[in-house]
Structure 1
C-alpha cells in the first residue's frame, strides 16, 4: 500500500498507518475489525478525505503492524492509538470503528474523553457475555489445532449475508477480505480474540457526552440489532441506524448505505 508510515512503540511494536486528505481538515481516525487491516476503509477514505484529514492504521497484530505476544487488552490498544495520535499531532478527532475498531473507539472515548469529538461505532458490542466469550475459545482452539486459514471461510459466512457471498460479482471484494484475514498474524488474532473476551464498557456508556452514531447490519449475528440498539439507548447522545441487507462488515456489504448514514452524521 502506498504512503504507509510506521511508528515504533515503547514495547518494540511497529504500527503501520496512512494519512489522507487536506492538511487543514479536521481529523477522523478509522480503526479496523479483527482479522482485517486499514484496507477495510479504502472506500470510506476515498470520500472522507475530500473533507477530513483521515488517519487509518493497522491495529497491533494486523496487516503491516507488528504482532506482540497474546493476550492483548483494550487499555493496550487504546494506548497504541493515543501514542499514534500524539505522534502525528492529533489533539482531538472523530473516530470511526468497525467491530473491534468500534469497541476501541468506545474505550478511547471512555478513558480519554478529551481526545474524541464524535464516535461512529459500527457492528460492535460493549460487553462480553459468556456465549460470546465461548465463540473465541472455540476459534482459538481451532487456530491451535489447525491454522488461521481454517477460520477464514467459516468467518466469512458470519461477516456477510448468504446472498452477498453467492453473487460472483463480489468475488474481487471477498478476495481482498480473504487476503486481509490471512495476512493477520496468528498470535495477533489470538491476542485480539482474548482482548474481546475482556470487553466491558457497557456500564460506562451512560457517562459519555460525545455525539455517537451506532450502526449495525440487519443480519449481524455478532453485534445484533437489539444489542446495538441498547448501546445507543444507554448513550446520552447516541443514535442508532440499521443497515439493511448486511451482516457484520456492513461497510463492505452495503457501502452506499453506510456512506449515507455516516455522512449524514459527520457532514461529509
Structure 2
C-alpha cells in the first residue's frame, strides 16, 4: 500500500491514511462505510482536491490499518480521527462520513465540535438497533469459513439490483475488498453500531450540517436521515434516489451536493 502513510494511535495500533490536493487548501476528511477502504472515495478525489486538501483513512479493522481483536467503540473510532489530525498538525477540518463514517461524524460533532467546521452525514443513522441482530452478525462472520456470504449480503445492501446483475466494473473493487477483509475487523465495527445510540445527543451538534439520505436505502432508512436532520439544529436534509453507497451510485449528484454545501458562504 505505497499510497498510504501511517500513524500510531494512543492505544498502539497503526492507522493508514493519505492526502490528496495542495497543502495550502482547507482540509476535508472523508470517512468510509463499514467493510470498505479509503478507495471508496476514488471517484470524487479529482474534483474535491481542486478545492480541498483531502484526507482519507482506512478505519481500524479495514484496509491497510491494523485489526485489533475484540469489540471496538465509537469513542475509539472518534479518537482515531482526532489523533490523526493531531499527528498531521491539523486543527480544524470539514468532515464527510458515509454510513459508519457518519456515525464517527456525529460523535465528532457532539464531542469535539471545535475541530470540525462543516459536517456532512451521508446514508447513516444515530441508532441501528436492536443489539441482538448485531450479536448474531458478529457470531456469523467470525464463524464463517470465508467471506462469500458476507460479501453477497453487503453488495445487496449497498447497490440497486441492476448494478449487480450487469457486468459492472464499478462493483468489482468492492467485491474484492469484502472477500479479502479480515472478519475480526468487521466484527469489531459491528460492535460499534450495536453499542451506539445518539438519537438524543446529536441535538448538541453546533456545526453547520448537511444530511444526505438514500430514498431506497434499506440499511440506514430514509426515516433515519430525517430524524438526524430534525434533531441537529439548523441542519439541511437532501435525498438522493439511491440505495446505500450514494457516492457511488449517484457520484455526480453527491459531489455537487458536497461542493455546494462546503463552498457556500
Shorter-normalised TM range: over 0.9
Q: Which residue of 2 aligns with 1:6?
A: 6
State the aligned residue count: 263
Instruction: Spell out, residue by residue over 1:205-262, the C-alpha distance to the aligned partner (whole angstroms, 9 max, x if none).
Output: 2221111111122110111111111110111121111111x21111111111111211
Q: Which of 247, 261, 265 pairs up with 1:265? A: 261
Instruction: Spell out, residue by residue over 1:60-110, the C-alpha distance to the aligned partner (whole angstroms, 9 max, x if none).
Output: 000000000120001111111111000111101010111000110110111
Runs of 4+ in 1 over 3 A off after TM superposition: none
User: Partner of 2:257: helix, strand, or coil?
Assistant: helix
In the alignment, is the contact (CA less than 8 A) between 2:30 and 2:96 conserved in 1?
yes
Distance 1:108 1:231 in 2: 15
User: Partner of 1:202: helix, strand, or coil?
Assistant: coil
Q: Which residue of 1 aligns with 2:135?
A: 137
The 1:135/1:252 distance shift into structure 2, 3 A limit, reads farther
Instruction: Give the CA deviation at 1:144.
Output: 2.9
In the alignment, is the contact (CA less than 8 A) between 1:139 and 1:151 conserved in 2?
no
Q: Which residue of 2 aligns with 1:54?
A: 54
Instruction: Spell out, residue by residue over 1:153-201, the C-alpha distance to the aligned partner (whole angstroms, 9 max, x if none).
Output: 1221111111221232x2x211100122233221110000011101122
In the alignment, is the contact (CA less than 8 A) between 2:109 and 2:202 conserved in 1?
no
Distance 1:111 1:22 in 2: 29
Instruction: Spell out, residue by residue over 1:101-159, the C-alpha distance to the aligned partner (whole angstroms, 9 max, x if none).
Output: 011011011111100011111110001331xx343233223213323332101221111
Q: Which residue of 1 aligns with 2:101?
A: 101
Q: Which residue of 2 aligns with 1:152?
A: 151
Matched, 1:15 2:12: no
Distance 1:209 1:224 in 2: 24
- Return 5+ residue gaps in structure 1 as ranges: none
- Return 5+ residue gaps in structure 2 as ranges: none
In the alignment, is the contact (CA less than 8 A) between 1:126 and 1:199 conserved in 2?
yes
